[in-house]
Structure 1
């Protein structure tokens, strides 16, 4: 019996709100990433002391309230949802899930190239690793996947586990950059050669392993599991009904999470219990949970606007960016390198946070225009096309046929 042809999802079958969510997440992630591009973690304390003015303080508060840890969960949810939809398709075609493993391997390689050639803040390789785990757990019932999502989000002892593992293998992330200080980092990134920046970028990546795998990975995995559960339960097929039916739930979710986030940012720091060795990590964990849940509120609110016909013209352009999410994510890193590093305009730590904010707005407007123009002539983003061709082992046409 001849095997059915395994081909990509046709653009005509796409669920447009998913692309709008992706486009929105691309914007929010760059708003967070640009601060790290402008001043890496080990430099940020001194940078903020020197550069922060009244307007910058407002930007920090706005970022804490509306951007930090809000968009990474959205991307993660959509990534898990995307893998689940592909696995459903493979099941219908009676194909092995080895196809997903191949896609994750290619994505992992793209992420590693991103780290080494452009920017060390990549999360694509992490998504690829977690995507393999998602493909393994996918057969579980939707309720089991939901329980696992809650467990990985709520588990409070990641730091303790990581400390034990790092101690056992003799790995000390905090010592990797000990030969670098504020001035040497600034010199390398602002005026250094590409080779010097490359060496620092790789070392910086390993110094941030704890942030990546202890802080971000559990959040990402829990949201991927949630996205997978969303597909397994069939809610993706009744998305409009789900969004409209759960209005009160998501509004209360936003109210409760925002009340705690305001308390954490503006009230708790005035009390000793904020700095208590036992209670301090608990307050922070609750903040992470609230940030993650607020990201889900963002998704609901955008979908509610979409399905109720409000602001459709304003939201629709985000779909073009979302259809090219991988290409646009990498493009943001490339633009960041050109702006801040020595191979470009050497603006590292020369911009304040207000200037960074408007840089993001300008770059994203450029991406909105570029994505729309690109998709008028091509079916997929350039990296999306490469990923598809490598995954399916065949050369797909990327150009759109001209209408007669």
Structure 2
């Protein structure tokens, strides 16, 4: 068995997953409900600016990074148990691809397919030296970020997650408070610089979320703003992660944010559930193309409350979320007990 490998969950990762889910829905809901561009000088216009400064391009990067960390942990623990981690992860990625294909029928901008495909590409890097993985991931994050290639960024972010898994960044976090604080302070400084630059390129009028290049190769003010958001996104995401890890060093914060941990433990179920709730609300209450930007926030809050309560109740009764359970069955090719032992008495 590899040194330092345990079977216990790393709670910090669940907190971060839950946190990432909170941000992802705020952006996804806009496209799913065909939310119109806000009118100038309104609260909706202000909320749009907030979203594209602090949310868009910040939370999917966290999820991509966590996918890489989970990738490493899964395969390492499988190998430590004497199983063929590569084969199991290959099955896991194929099942995730199937989930993504089905999900894309309802959510065109869904991410599961991208994670599965990039996961297959990065599969061989599990055995590559951690220093090489770290160097390659940072180089390509910088290149793709500067180029504004949002979809391409997912690949090096997954590789960065694998590298952090190799370095065992998330193990024994209570002994790494000083390092976390230094990292967070540095990311805070860089994030401040990045946000300052992006803020001074905010379009005068509300805009469409699309980088448009004209025939002369030029992009308009809104496109420059959006591209800058992609460039600085990984830095701000790193700051968010560092700050959350720092806060989680205190017991009080762990208790206050406990709902996030349960929300994150059912990340796949809740991610798919977000789409279901949004589309259901759009059809039942005729919200599609009828909600303003700020009204989508109110709907997201309602969905948060429902999903977090459901996650808390579900995980009192069962070991994992329903889609996580199906995912595990199809990965291991055997039925895994779902109920918690205490409920089987």
TM-score (norm 2): 0.86
1:56–1:157 Cα change, 3 Å: closer
For the pair 1:36 / 2:56, whether they are aligned, the reply is no
Deviation at 1:157, TM superposition (A): 9.6
2:296 is matched with 356
Deviates more, 1:281-290 or 1:54-63: 281-290
For the Cα contact (< 8 Å) 2:150–2:230, is it kept in 1?
Answer: no
Deviation at 1:218, TM superposition (A): 2.2
Deviation at 1:245, TM superposition (A): 1.8
2:179 is matched with 245
SS in 2 for 1:99: helix
Deviation at 1:256, TM superposition (A): 2.4
For the pair 1:393 / 2:333, whether they are aligned, the reply is yes
Q: CA–CA distance in 1 between the matches of 2:97 and 2:174?
A: 33
Deviation at 1:286, TM superposition (A): 4.8
For the pair 1:105 / 2:94, whether they are aligned, the reply is yes
1:200 is matched with none
Q: CA–CA distance in 1 between the matches of 2:198 and 2:145?
A: 20
For the pair 1:329 / 2:317, whether they are aligned, the reply is no
Q: Of the two, which has the highest radius of gyration?
A: 1
For the Cα contact (< 8 Å) 1:324–1:384, is it kept in 2?
Answer: yes
SS in 1 for 2:198: helix
In the TM superposition, what are the counterparts of 1:1-400 in structure 2 within 5 Å? 13-39=8-34, 47-48=36-37, 51=39, 54-96=42-84, 97-116=86-105, 118-156=106-144, 215-267=149-201, 277=218, 286-341=228-283, 344-400=284-340
1:345–1:133 Cα change, 3 Å: same
SS in 1 for 2:107: coil
Deviation at 1:335, TM superposition (A): 0.8
Deviates more, 1:51-60 or 1:137-146: 51-60
Q: CA–CA distance in 1 between the matches of 2:184 and 2:258?
A: 23
For the Cα contact (< 8 Å) 2:95–2:330, is it kept in 1?
Answer: yes
1:303–1:249 Cα change, 3 Å: closer
SS in 2 for 1:355: helix
1:282–1:94 Cα change, 3 Å: farther
Gaps of at least 5 residues in structure 1 are: 160-213
Deviation at 1:122, TM superposition (A): 1.3
Aligned Cα RMSD in Å? 2.7
1:27–1:269 Cα change, 3 Å: closer
Q: CA–CA distance in 2 between the matches of 1:326 and 1:351?
A: 26
Q: CA–CA distance in 2 between the matches of 1:314 and 1:308?
A: 10
Q: CA–CA distance in 2 between the matches of 1:267 and 1:32?
A: 20
Post-superposition CA distance 1:75-122 (Å, at most 9, x none):
111110011011212332343311111110011001111112x32221
Deviates more, 1:118-127 or 1:255-264: 255-264
Q: CA–CA distance in 1 between the matches of 2:125 and 2:179?
A: 29
For the Cα contact (< 8 Å) 2:69–2:164, is it kept in 1?
Answer: yes
1:36–1:115 Cα change, 3 Å: same
For the Cα contact (< 8 Å) 1:119–1:337, is it kept in 2?
Answer: no
SS in 1 for 2:310: helix
Q: CA–CA distance in 1 between the matches of 2:338 and 2:325?
A: 7
Q: CA–CA distance in 2 between the matches of 1:361 and 1:289?
A: 28
Deviation at 1:238, TM superposition (A): 3.5
Alignment length, in residue pairs?
327
Deviation at 1:267, TM superposition (A): 4.5
TM-score (norm 1): 0.74
